[in-house]
Structure 1
Amino acid sequence: MSGEEKAFQLDDRPLVVGIGGTIGGISSTERALRIALDAAGEQGFRTRLFGGADMAKFPLYDPKAPGRTAEEQEFVDAVRGASALIIASPGYHGSISGVVKNALDLLEETARDAERTYLADMPVGLIATAYGWQATGSTIAALRSIVHALRGWPTPFAAAINSAITKFDAEGGANDPAVVEQLRMVGKQVARFAPLARG
């Protein structure tokens, strides 16, 4: 375990976990998610991002598998310890990407948890990025349905980002300040509602 990992585990601030991105490098989806997580971090939360490179290590979810890989277990344990989630998905053919869905399917591991089943009572912020407006709306709707099925609470505001118009940069910004503020609102809302979920 690295010094950074030890410091993370010793930090007792509540945790917001971010899930999202694409395979094949840092994407606009992952950059959008980072902006939202940074806003939650400014509210006093620890943050942990599982991006495309992390999710690419998860095998296709098999509910009958005899065990889980170290990467799968690390992900499930992080979600178990979280006070809130932010999920970001690109819009692929009108819905969420396979890699994000596979990660969410892995949360079946929490189905029999005594303390919290699935995402019960947890605030969940949602972000969709797509090359056009139509897919952003259907992707947000799909994410809301999944979060409801997992017993979580989608926050009132979700960010829909048209990546044909909005361009993100490596410094953590975007060419449209209004989009940055929308993403920051997602992070601020999960931070605001997380204390209610812990009560």
Structure 2
Amino acid sequence: MTATTILVRYNAACQAIAEARAVDEVKDIRDKALAMALYAKQAKDRDLIDYATDIKLRAEARAGELLIEMAENRERDVGAGGDRKSQSQPPTVKLADLGITKDQSSRWQKLAQLDPKEREQKIAKLKAKAQAAIDPKPKKVVKRKSQPDSQPWELYVQDFRMLLRKWFKKLPSECWSDLVDGLHDELSKTQRLTRG
């Protein structure tokens, strides 16, 4: 998936969340984002996990808003007990009917009740936590010692090769030839400029 595709889908998901009027609509978006986040974690794709986590949390906040509205409008069973045999009140929806646990309902409603600034801070904190789950232990930076017989430019070549390997791992194989052709053209231009 390209960065542009991810961004377009992210914007579409945010729009769908904002327009959602039912908990099950938002929960469906949240569940898909959760699956995407799990995939991104396995693929160690930091951009995708950022977007997926963001969508998941925004969907949970919207679900919390809708759950609060449903409770206020008496459209949802709030578990207050009372006379349930009486037919004086219309039947209400239970959390289990929505496929939501009490714990999820509580967390989502708390997220929904945060003011916008606090909510954004909470989302940023949880996104950072998701990022940390990809690579929990930061790698130590090893300083290279220049070999007495090596040239300084050889270190740049090694770094460039490592960078290329990372690019090739992230790109679909059908893009490789375009990347190689583009790099060859750029290197040829640079070589001509430095020699001429």
Instruction: Please tell me the TM-score bracket, short chain as reference.
Output: under 0.3
TM-score (norm 2): 0.28
TM-score (norm 1): 0.28
Q: Which has the higher helix share?
A: 2
Rg: which structure is higher? 2
